[in-house]
Amino acid sequence: MTTDAVDLRASFHVVTGGAGFIGTNLARALSGAGAEVLILDDLSLGQRGYLPPGKAIRFAQVDVADREALSAALSQASGYPSVEVWHFCANSDIQAGAHDPKLDLRSTFQTTFALLEEMRVRGWTTINFASTSAVYGDQGDTPLNETATLLPISNYGAMKVASEAVIRASCESFLTTARIFRFPNVVGMPATHGVIFDFVRRLIADPICLSVLGNGEQQKPYLHVGELIEAMLFIRCRTAAGHHIFNIGPLDAGTRVNQIAQLVCQAIAPRAAIAYGVDPRGWIGDVPRFRYDVSRLLRLGWKPSKTSSQAVEKAISEIVDHELRGR
Amino acid sequence: MTTDAVDLRASFHVVTGGAGFIGTNLARALSGAGAEVLILDDLSLGQRGYLPPGKAIRFAQVDVADREALSAALSQASGYPSVEVWHFCANSDIQAGAHDPKLDLRSTFQTTFALLEEMRVRGWTTINFASTSAVYGDQGDTPLNETATLLPISNYGAMKVASEAVIRASCESFLTTARIFRFPNVVGMPATHGVIFDFVRRLIADPICLSVLGNGEQQKPYLHVGELIEAMLFIRCRTAAGHHIFNIGPLDAGTRVNQIAQLVCQAIAPRAAIAYGVDPRGWIGDVPRFRYDVSRLLRLGWKPSKTSSQAVEKAISEIVDHELRGR
């Protein structure tokens, strides 16, 4: 299935974090499928320039954790018979959250809490939530399915666990449908953070040497944002009311950080030296390797067409093009 | 092992919620083992009259979620070389939390967050946390061990999941030791809430008829608070640094609510009628039945001496005595 097959005419969708990396791709897809879309974003990581164009897309700059401001922004959706929420705003800077846990508390968890409170009083009963493989923590090479224990090792992962938990509890009171999407590492444009973006920017600034956090052996599954959006819309259309959790990811065991470093060097500065650290982890809360079991999503009928490495290669090409074009 | 065997001389322990049902029993046991104890409690559910006596026990009335007030209260522990924290304050009124999720957010989760922040800046590295079977949600008759999926169906359970998650993440940065105790239903004195306390109070007020929330078939494992304290101190002394999760509970499948209703009637008003509802759940977020797998605790070497029904009978006798004595 491609997103072309999705028909969302006459439906209204709120996308929090819709000016960010994944949110803006989602909002474009929803709008492309005929939906009316209201984007909420505080523009702390997202950018106005990322907002997809179109008459059916509205935007409000708002801190979703601020209940009063959120309520005012959501009043634009009043009068629509059914409103579906895609909660995608969060602090995506995991390293920053390791130094100041209040960042994740506010941007990742309190946004969820405030949003659920608003949904409850407004009688909105469907939420789609951007969760993460980080909820599982570091479980080595065990392939993780959706029933695996949640032992997050970052505050980012912890606040996603917390968000999942309050969403689950809300299914007992007012929510009829909750879809929890657990993302792997997602790559593509518009890049705002992440290993590829970081390497590209730093190699452009210093084409002599690229220094890598950790020993480079970290290995993670990568998915291109285009495939992620396709998978989410597929799940959205193929699941009925209830509480659903889906890992979304490639079928392979992932790509290593040293492979990504080499690919980025090849694209920008083929003669650059690459300096690795000694720690198996890039930073506190970094999960050095994890394996995803995506059989639930395969059974539902969706399969990614790219491997981790293909997703990474495509994203490198897109990001390098964009970064060099601006010069 | 009994708690008599525990020697905590020359150690300093902070007990949040130490004026509440379980906290006050814990504080007494710690003090009995020779520890110095600082109790923090906002007295919203706990009571000053429950505070155990003794020179080595200090008390501060404080809202633990209020970082500034918490910091001031904890300054009493400054100067002690090592401080261990027992985080036991929470909103224990699960039904109230179903109506107003902000109750659980503040009393159960934001207390954990603020406490961890304080521990981090103070260099305190050991936390013992009062968690709950409610983190598992409703998984029917499957015996639940500590690796089971967490799908809470109450805001109370969700905020305990959230608390566990931030504690787990903190083990990557500053905590060296975290012990997560997942309680079953705990009974005993001083009762502040719970099914036995509720039945006793209502039967004393109206000895003609006892109306029960739900159909009475709800079946849960019960543990007497005396055994709970014993188990926690056992775990505390038998586990080294690291992150530990333990279910604590009886070995049996639990006691039904209709059995409890009959026992309370026998004790107070043997001729009272019992009127049951029709719903299998007592309220939104009530888990009608669950089974606990406590084999991890058995392997560590601790075994409860009472069954669920024996724990319930002992607690009924204690609570009835106390409630009738006051008349």
Return the half-sphere exposure (C-beta side, CA atoms, 13 A cut-off) of residue B253. 10
Are A187 and A304 within 8 A, CB to CB?
no
Chain B residues with beta carbon closer than 8 angstroms to that of A243: 151
- CA–CA distance, A192 with A322 (Å, rounded to integer): 12
pLDDT of residue B171: 96
Q: Treating both helix axes as pointing N-terminal to C-terminal, what angle do B257-268 and B308-325 enclose, rounded to 10 degrees?
A: 40
The more confident residue out of A94 and A64 is A64
Nearest to B284 by CA among A167, A174, A118, A166: A174
Residue of B146, B173, B174, B286 best to disrupt the A interface, most CBs of A under 10 A = B173
C-alpha gyration radius of chain B: 19
What's the rounded mean pLDDT across residues B208-230?
94
Contact B177, B126 (CB under 8 A): yes
Comparing B282 with B58, the larger pLDDT belongs to B58
User: Using an 8 Å Cβ cutoff, are A225 and A22 in contact?
Assistant: yes
Tell me the pLDDT tens digit for each residue of B80-120.
988 999 999 999 888 888 889 999 999 999 999 999 999 99
Contact by Cβ (8 Å): A125, A119: yes
CA atoms within 13 A on the CB side of A251: 9
pLDDT computed for residue B326 by the predictor: 64
Residue B154: list chain A partners with CB under 8 A.
169, 172
Q: Nearest CA of chain A to the CA of B278: how many Å?
A: 18
What are the φ and ψ backbone dihedral angles of B235, each rounded to 5 degrees? -60, -40
pLDDT class of A78 with cuts at 50, 70, 90:
confident
Q: Does A293 lie at the interface with B, CB-CB under 8 angstroms?
A: no
Give A 79-98 residues with CB within 8 A of chain B.
Answer: 98
pLDDT tens sequence across B162-200: 999 999 999 999 999 999 999 999 999 998 788 999 999
- Nearest partner of A21 among A56, A57, A47, judged by Cα: A47
Q: What DSSP letter does each residue of A106-157 carry, written as one string?
A: IIIIIHHHHHHHHHHHHT--EEEEEEEGGGTB--TTSEE-TTS--B--SHHH
Is cis: bond before B190, omega within 30 of 0?
A: yes
Q: Kindly indicate the confidence band of residue B36, based on its pLDDT and cuts at 50, 70 and 90.
A: very high
User: Is A165–B153 a contact, with Cβ atoms under 8 angstroms apart?
Assistant: no
The pLDDT of residue A286 is above 90: no
Separation CA A60–CA A39 (nearest Å): 6
Block residue for tokens 């959006």: A229
How high is the pLDDT of residue B140? Answer: 85
What is residue B109's DSSP assignment? I
In this structure, are residues B111 and B73 in contact, taking their beta carbons and an 8 Å threshold? no
* Per-residue pLDDT band at A1 (split at 50, 70, 90): very low
Judge: B162–A157 Cβ closer than 8 Å, yes or no: no
Tell me: pLDDT of B158 over 80: yes
**Which residues fall within 8 angstroms of residue A24, CB to CB, at 6 or more apart?**
A18, A39, A46, A50, A51, A52, A190
**Cα–chain-centroid distance for residue A273?**
31
Residue B327 above 90 pLDDT? no
Which tokens belong to A36? 């009316």
Bridge partners (DSSP) of residue A178 are A127, A243
pLDDT at A236 over 70: yes
Binary contact (A152, B165; C-beta < 8 A): yes
Model confidence at A326, pLDDT cuts 50, 70, 90, reads low
Query: Residues of chain A with pLDDT > 70: what percent?
Result: 98
Shortest alpha-carbon distance between residue B42 and chain A (Å): 23
State the burial class of residue B230 (Cβ atoms within 10 Å of its Cβ: 0-12, 13-18, 19+): buried
pLDDT above 90 (res B5): no
* Residue (of A81, A73, A43, A86) closest to A235 by Cα position: A86
Spatial separation of the C-alpha atoms in residues A37 and A55, rounded to whole Å = 9
Distance CA A151, CA A194 (A): 22
Test B165 with A158 for CB contact under 8 angstroms: yes
Higher pLDDT, A10 or A307: A307
- pLDDT tens column, B41-76: 999 989 999 998 888 899 999 999 999 999 999 999
Look over chain B and give the mean of its residue pLDDT values, rounded to a whole number.
93
User: CA B226, B229, B231, B236: dihedral to nearest 10 degrees?
Assistant: -160
CB atoms within 10 A of CB A246: 22
Residue B22 three-state SS? helix
| 3-class secondary structure, B181 | strand
Query: Averaged over B140-160, what is the pLDDT?
Result: 94
Residue of B146, B149, B157 with shortest CB distance to A169: B157
Confidence of residue B4 (pLDDT cuts 50, 70, 90): low
In the 8-state DSSP scheme, what is residue B151?
B
Q: Give me chain A's average pLDDT, please.
A: 93
Specify the pairing of strand B291-292 against strand A126-132. unpaired
Backbone phi and psi for residue A198, each to the nearest 5 degrees, phi listed first: -60, -50
Cα–Cα distance, A136 to A157 (Å, whole number): 8
- Quote the pLDDT of residue B48: 94
- With 0-12 / 13-18 / 19 or more C-beta atoms within 10 angstroms meaning exposed / middle / buried, residue A78 is exposed
Put simply, the chain B residues between 219 and 278 with a CB less than 8 A from any chain A CB are: 243
Q: How far is Cα A163 from Cα B162, in angstroms, rounded to an integer?
A: 8
* Nearest to A96, CA basis, from A160, A33, A155: A155
Mutation target to probe the A interface, by most A beta carbons within 10 A, among B103, B107, B111, B113 is B113
> Is pLDDT of B1 > 80?
no
- Residue B281 banded pLDDT, cuts 50, 70, 90: confident
Encoding tokens for residue A81? 């018979």
Tokens of B32: 């009995």
User: A153 touching B, CB under 8 A?
Assistant: yes
Instruction: Output phi, psi for A300, to 5 deg.
Output: -70, -25
pLDDT digits (tens, 9 = 90+) for A13-59: 999 999 999 999 999 999 999 999 999 999 998 999 999 888 889 99
In angstroms, the CA A251 to CA B254 distance is 43
Tell me which DSSP letter residue B108 carries: I
Question: Over the stretch A110-130, which tens digit does the pLDDT of each residue have?
Answer: 999 999 999 999 999 999 999
Token pair in block for residue A134? 């980080």
Tell me what percent of the residues of chain A surpass a pLDDT of 90.
81
Query: Given an 8 Å threshold on Cβ–Cβ distance, is A157 in contact with B169?
Result: yes
ipTM over 0.95: no
Q: Average pLDDT for residues B133-147, to the nearest whole number?
A: 92
Residue B183 CA to its chain's centroid (Å): 6
Residue A92 has pLDDT above 90, yes or no: no
**Per-residue model confidence as pLDDT tens digits over A152-169:** 999 999 999 999 999 999
Residues of B in Cβ contact (< 8 Å) with A153: 168-169, 171-172
